[in-house]
Structure 1
Amino acid sequence: MSLTNTRQLLASPPLWAVCLLALVWLLPGLFGSEPWKPDGAYTFGLISHISNTGDWVVPTLAGEPFMEKPPLYFITAALLNNALGGWLLAPVDAMRLATGLYIGLAMLGIALAARELFGRGYGRWAVIILLGCLGFPVRAHQLITDTALFAGIAWATYGLVLAPRRPRLAGVLLGAGVAVALLSKGLIGPGVVGLTALLLPALSPAYRTRRHALTLLIALLVFLPLPALWMSALYQRSPELFHTWWWDNNFGRFFGTNHLGPRATHGFYFKLLPWYALPAWPLVLYGAWCYFRDKQLLRLVAPGVFFIIGFSVLSAASDARELYGMPLLVPLSLLAVAGVRETATLRVPGRVLWALIALLVLGLLLLGGYALATGAPAKVYAVVSRRFGGWQPHWVPLAWVAAGLLLLGLYALWQQAPTQRLSGGLWRWAVLLAGIWGMLGTVYLPALDEQMAYRLPFRMLRHPLHLALKDGCVASLRLGEPQRALLSHYGRAQTLRLETQPAAGQCRWLLVQSENGWAPHFSQPLQPQLVVARPGDDKERYLLYALPQPLAQMGLLLN
């Protein structure tokens, strides 16, 4: 389906520069921080369980089954932790390599799909556009299963694009991508891909052939074994847990019958994509108009149908988060390449303006980082320290060495900008965004980590909790999933939740997560033995109570 014969080869940065941009964009933020709530923290707990026990069938969080997501990402991260954690990398950094692995695989799949659609030289533009999307950097560096889903969707989309030309290979890629998507996040991703594959023959003659049927048959055969292996093992272990995953965390979440997840607001994804997918969506609109004008719109049918179905399914779901929109960047990045065309040469004033903007933005970020390290200039530190409560100025040499290497890479990349106005602007935008993210992931990361991590408060709880556990058990109230995972890691302790475990009523110790000053009321006055919080966090507190008698006899009042 290549369009090489209908479009002239676009002047592009060299392949080595695109690979360097991907590394400069990807590496900062993968290393040097603790697990952050919400998603990274509980994912860390699930990975730690597999790493410590080898049990890949039932994801377990702080001693309790956690059936929200299948285990592929957790298994991958656990293998990397067992191979590299402790001797080469900190455990959480070794685990986060799984994120880098899956995002790298996704970039490759997207590049190959764009090359198949548009011809040689265009695959790199899909990656450049993806790296320039404003909503992508934060999630693409986190310890979350959605990165594996993203990779699965990317390769499944490549399979759909490749199907008219190489049906057998396309079937293998499509089936493997869908299997990765299901084993990463559940049924919705595979459902969207499946609907797209079935609808394509009705819309395009290129898919209305026996070759496409062969692609789907091969895809089904490739897809089935691994999901069937995990699902059968889970069902044999516990039919109840299988039902919890199959119904509650797939259909129940979609229809809202189990009241899990944040409720969707009207038009959530319409409001999200204008900033989240910038600059992809303006290029999509321009490219679609150009292809419609040239009567070639059907050439974009595979990513176009995937986006429409994916957007519709997400919009129909009862819960919504910006994280759920990340897979939509796969078809949008591909469709946006259609809008990258030859334009007039960017003249010297335009190039100077771009350079001044980059110098101003990166210079301000460096000044803020210097203020965090030294406390000077005082006015600058007063501004940046508002965001980093509890931070005490000090140098972190490794972060500044990494920032220096990053700036050298950015300078080399800036020199490779194409001369055309549009393509040169896209390249400079992606390089600048990589620089902004790189500064946040190096010189700002220690201060961010100090504020976001639970290491300090939960290590303060370790000794009191161990003493309490010698007295029997410790109950917990309102302790969230991320906090339970990190308490198990830093505090080396697990609690019995009052919300789910009747045995908690026999405990004489109670750990409470307090939000905005909330505290439980007992039938008799009682003060906490210990109160801890993250540095600079004046909203979230952890209260440890020593009780004169078991909780079941204390008359705990929650209102």
Structure 2
Amino acid sequence: MLTYTPPESRPIAKTREQPWLLLLMAFAWLWPGVFSHGLWNPGEPAVFAAVEAMQSGASPLVADVLGETDFRISPVYLWTAAAFQNLLTPWAAGAYDAARFASVLFTVIGLTCCGFAGFNFLGRHHGRSVVLILIGCFGLLQMAHFMSDMTVGFAALGMVLNGFSLARRRVIVSSLLLGGGAALLSLTAGFALPLALLAMALVLPLHPQWRFKRYYITLFGALAVGLPLLVVYPFLLFKLQPDMFELWLNRHIFGEFGGIANVQTAFSLPYYLKNLLWFALPAWPLAVWTLTRIRTDSQPWSILAVSWIAVTLVLLAAMPRQFQDYLMWLLPPLALLGAAQLDGLRRGAAAFINWFGIMAFGLTAAFLWVGFFAMNYGWPAKLAERAAYFSPYYTPETDIVPMMVAILFTPLWLLAITRKNIKGRQAVTNWAAGVTLVWALLMTLFLPWLDAAKSYEPVVKQMQAALPSELSKQFADGRECLYVAENDRRARLAWGQYSDIALHTGHAECRYRLVQQPKDTATPQGWVKRWQGARPRNDKEGFALLERANAE
């Protein structure tokens, strides 16, 4: 007798995909760039200075950078970076490397939460696709591997997205994730973004797809959790540092938009749309493909993602500061949309994405290998000249451990791209593998070369090497002092980190003066220039050591 088995009760077909391969790729993607280099601009010197200040007794509620309050740096990131320093330094990692573990941790939280959101919203396998799309986005690379408190925001947004995805099944967990994520987001982005997302959450029930009892309960629970958590930080500031509370309330409560006393806006939409083209690649083309395949209001996840993107674009359009890392706010919903119709991607489109990724990343990897031989062994000669031009402080060196890592990554990528019958998910996997390969080669073969160009350490050491030995002794025992203006922030950060010469900001009568100025700037009257230097190919930012001309 023939029987009918409904689809929902049929056993799930086995898959050839192996989840451990995703974990291996994510692990391989996470670590290159975390170790073995100095502090790189634009953000690392200030963040690390704030971590050091907190370790030395500064307030844990507000970042202290050279004695100045900086509300742009999340205190949560400082707490985590300091904890990793105390745990890992010096036996397992250097101070810089240990602090970067905070970025790794928050990135892992964000990727994990976004992956589970994809699984909960879209079904089996789609969580992996969300993670692969995020790993493949160029904009996430720098903030995930360097000291960047933007990773706190990424983790918080992942929590919020995961909270929405659980509203139909696990109300308590959903409420905790939504409320906790909003509170965490407020500690890195101010109140503007979390309040906008909470307002969006309240408006979602206007659509039938979000008009169900469990979501109403979730909203109530999220507000019950989130609102008290949102006021914890202001309350602590008010009780422990009233002057800082007044400053935060009037100037920084809304993040980049300012505070109650000075709300600031500007029209920045063209800047953010232009940078979104590379920042969120390949998430945004895949999201556009999904929107052409479905009705925008056909699924709860599509309504949520489109609403999230619309709200965030409004905020970015009015943003008074143009800073590309804020595009990270768009990555979770774009990755979710991009993964939704990945299996339905036309074979021609999947083949094009796969071909483009193989060509782009393959040629880049080949260039990096040739560049490595050029800068270390002088061949090809023309490329060796260009390498020396862009990083003249680099001393050729070959470290066996980075070499082994680079050699391992290359054949693994070649193995990954040899699969046949490429479909959407395989194309995205190959793209993520290509990004991982290029980033790994860049952060192994080229890391010393990049460090010599991006770090201030060679510049500082160059100045100290140019000093007469007697003058170095006079600086060391206090017979001479070196003055630097209080507003010369980069000079103070660089020399404070890499030099053993004490800098004085309140002794304008010092015989020697360190100034921050473009190279070949005219020497002020009454002073003699003893040294000048700058990071390679940086004509706008330079430093000079001046001595009073009439000094005895």
Give the TM-score band, short-chain normalised. Answer: 0.7 to 0.9
Shift of 1:276: 1.9
For residues 368 and 42 of structure 1, what CA distance do their matches in structure 2 show? 31
Which position in structure 2 is the counterpart of 1:339? 341
Shift of 1:16: 1.2
Which position in structure 1 is the counterpart of 2:165? 161
Shift of 1:356: 6.6
Which position in structure 2 is the counterpart of 1:292? 295
Task: Answer whether contact 1:10 1:121 (CA < 8 A) is retained.
Answer: no
Which position in structure 1 is the counterpart of 2:424? 422
Secondary structure of 2:331 counterpart:
helix
Task: Answer whether contact 1:264 1:319 (CA < 8 A) is retained.
Answer: no
For residues 331 and 286 of structure 2, what CA distance do their matches in structure 1 show? 13
For residues 193 and 30 of structure 1, what CA distance do their matches in structure 2 show? 32
Task: Answer whether contact 2:248 2:259 (CA < 8 A) is retained.
Answer: no
The change in CA–CA distance for 1:300 and 1:17 in structure 2 (over 3 A counts) is same
Identity of aligned residues (%): 26
* One-letter amino acid of the structure 1 residue matched with residue 106 of structure 2: Y
The change in CA–CA distance for 1:164 and 1:356 in structure 2 (over 3 A counts) is closer
Shift of 1:278: 1.8
* One-letter amino acid of the structure 2 residue matched with residue 49 of structure 1: A
For residues 526 and 250 of structure 1, what CA distance do their matches in structure 2 show? 45
For residues 276 and 165 of structure 1, what CA distance do their matches in structure 2 show? 33
Which position in structure 2 is the counterpart of 1:78? 82
Q: Which runs of 5+ in 2 are unaligned?
A: 1-6, 465-470
Task: Answer whether contact 1:418 1:424 (CA < 8 A) is retained.
Answer: no
The change in CA–CA distance for 1:518 and 1:235 in structure 2 (over 3 A counts) is farther
Which position in structure 1 is the counterpart of 2:543? 542
Secondary structure of 1:267 counterpart:
helix
Residues 186-226 of structure 1: CA deviation (Å, up to 9, x unaligned)? 22331232122122112x23433453333233223433565
Residues 292-315 of structure 1: CA deviation (Å, up to 9, x unaligned)? 18x724441122211110111111
Shift of 1:529: 4.0
Task: Answer whether contact 1:96 1:143 (CA < 8 A) is retained.
Answer: yes
Secondary structure of 2:92 counterpart:
coil
Which deviates more, 472-481 or 272-281? 472-481
Shift of 1:368: 1.1
For CA contacts below 8 A with separation 6 or more, give which structure has more relative contact order.
1
Task: Answer whether contact 1:466 1:493 (CA < 8 A) is retained.
Answer: no
1:380 to 375, 380, 383: 383
For residues 182 and 502 of structure 2, what CA distance do their matches in structure 1 show? 36
Which position in structure 1 is the counterpart of 2:316? 314
Q: Please tell me whether residue 97 in structure 1 is matched to residue 101 in structure 2.
A: yes
For residues 315 and 10 of structure 1, what CA distance do their matches in structure 2 show? 46
Which position in structure 2 is the counterpart of 1:500? none
Shift of 1:143: 0.5
Which position in structure 2 is the counterpart of 1:61? 65
Residues 316-367 of structure 1: CA deviation (Å, up to 9, x unaligned)? 11222111111211110011112302457689x9889976765444222211
Q: Please tell me whether residue 450 in structure 1 is matched to residue 447 in structure 2.
A: no
Task: Answer whether contact 1:47 1:74 (CA < 8 A) is retained.
Answer: yes
Task: Answer whether contact 1:132 1:429 (CA < 8 A) is retained.
Answer: yes
Q: Which runs of 5+ in 1 are unaligned?
A: 498-502, 551-559
Which deviates more, 8-17 or 269-278? 8-17
The change in CA–CA distance for 1:383 and 1:256 in structure 2 (over 3 A counts) is farther
Aligned length: 536
Which position in structure 1 is the counterpart of 2:129? 125
Residues 525-558 of structure 1: CA deviation (Å, up to 9, x unaligned)? 21134434335655432223344899xxxxxxxx
For residues 441 and 426 of structure 1, what CA distance do their matches in structure 2 show? 22
Which position in structure 2 is the counterpart of 1:170? 174
* One-letter amino acid of the structure 2 residue matched with residue 133 of structure 1: C
* One-letter amino acid of the structure 2 residue matched with residue 39 of structure 1: G
| Structure 2 counterparts to residues 125-204 of structure 1, below 5 A | 125-202=129-206, 204=207
2:119 to 104, 108, 115: 115
Which position in structure 1 is the counterpart of 2:527? 526
The change in CA–CA distance for 1:539 and 1:314 in structure 2 (over 3 A counts) is closer
* One-letter amino acid of the structure 2 residue matched with residue 239 of structure 1: P
* One-letter amino acid of the structure 2 residue matched with residue 147 of structure 1: T
1:51 to 43, 51, 55: 55
The change in CA–CA distance for 1:208 and 1:355 in structure 2 (over 3 A counts) is closer
* One-letter amino acid of the structure 2 residue matched with residue 288 of structure 1: L
Secondary structure of 1:38 counterpart:
coil
TM-score, scaled to structure 2: 0.86
Q: Please tell me whether residue 305 in structure 1 is matched to residue 313 in structure 2.
A: no
For residues 493 and 4 of structure 1, what CA distance do their matches in structure 2 show? 72
1:211 to 211, 214, 217: 214
1:234 to 230, 233, 237: 237
TM-score, scaled to structure 1: 0.85
What do you get for the CA RMSD once the two structures are aligned?
3.6
* One-letter amino acid of the structure 2 residue matched with residue 438 of structure 1: A
Shift of 1:118: 0.6
For residues 210 and 311 of structure 2, what CA distance do their matches in structure 1 show? 17
Shift of 1:382: 2.7
2:36 to 9, 21, 32: 32
The change in CA–CA distance for 1:75 and 1:410 in structure 2 (over 3 A counts) is same
Secondary structure of 2:528 counterpart:
coil
The change in CA–CA distance for 1:255 and 1:418 in structure 2 (over 3 A counts) is farther
Residues 244-274 of structure 1: CA deviation (Å, up to 9, x unaligned)? 3333234483269999999765511221222
For residues 68 and 352 of structure 1, what CA distance do their matches in structure 2 show? 41
For residues 510 and 548 of structure 1, what CA distance do their matches in structure 2 show? 12
For residues 90 and 155 of structure 2, what CA distance do their matches in structure 1 show? 27
The change in CA–CA distance for 1:481 and 1:67 in structure 2 (over 3 A counts) is farther
For residues 320 and 451 of structure 2, what CA distance do their matches in structure 1 show? 33
Shift of 1:171: 0.5
For residues 460 and 507 of structure 2, what CA distance do their matches in structure 1 show? 20
For residues 60 and 259 of structure 2, what CA distance do their matches in structure 1 show? 28
Task: Answer whether contact 2:185 2:194 (CA < 8 A) is retained.
Answer: yes
For residues 49 and 528 of structure 1, what CA distance do their matches in structure 2 show? 32
Q: Please tell me whether residue 486 in structure 1 is matched to residue 489 in structure 2.
A: no
* One-letter amino acid of the structure 2 residue matched with residue 470 of structure 1: G
For residues 405 and 450 of structure 1, what CA distance do their matches in structure 2 show? 25
The change in CA–CA distance for 1:411 and 1:301 in structure 2 (over 3 A counts) is same
For residues 54 and 505 of structure 1, what CA distance do their matches in structure 2 show? 26
| Structure 2 counterparts to residues 321-336 of structure 1, below 5 A | 321-336=323-338
For residues 277 and 117 of structure 2, what CA distance do their matches in structure 1 show? 24
Residues 423-477 of structure 1: CA deviation (Å, up to 9, x unaligned)? 3222212211211111111101110001111123334667859828936865423
Which deviates more, 184-193 or 97-106? 184-193
For residues 59 and 464 of structure 1, what CA distance do their matches in structure 2 show? 33
The change in CA–CA distance for 1:531 and 1:165 in structure 2 (over 3 A counts) is same
For residues 266 and 63 of structure 1, what CA distance do their matches in structure 2 show? 34
For residues 477 and 68 of structure 2, what CA distance do their matches in structure 1 show? 18
For residues 348 and 337 of structure 2, what CA distance do their matches in structure 1 show? 24
For residues 526 and 189 of structure 1, what CA distance do their matches in structure 2 show? 50
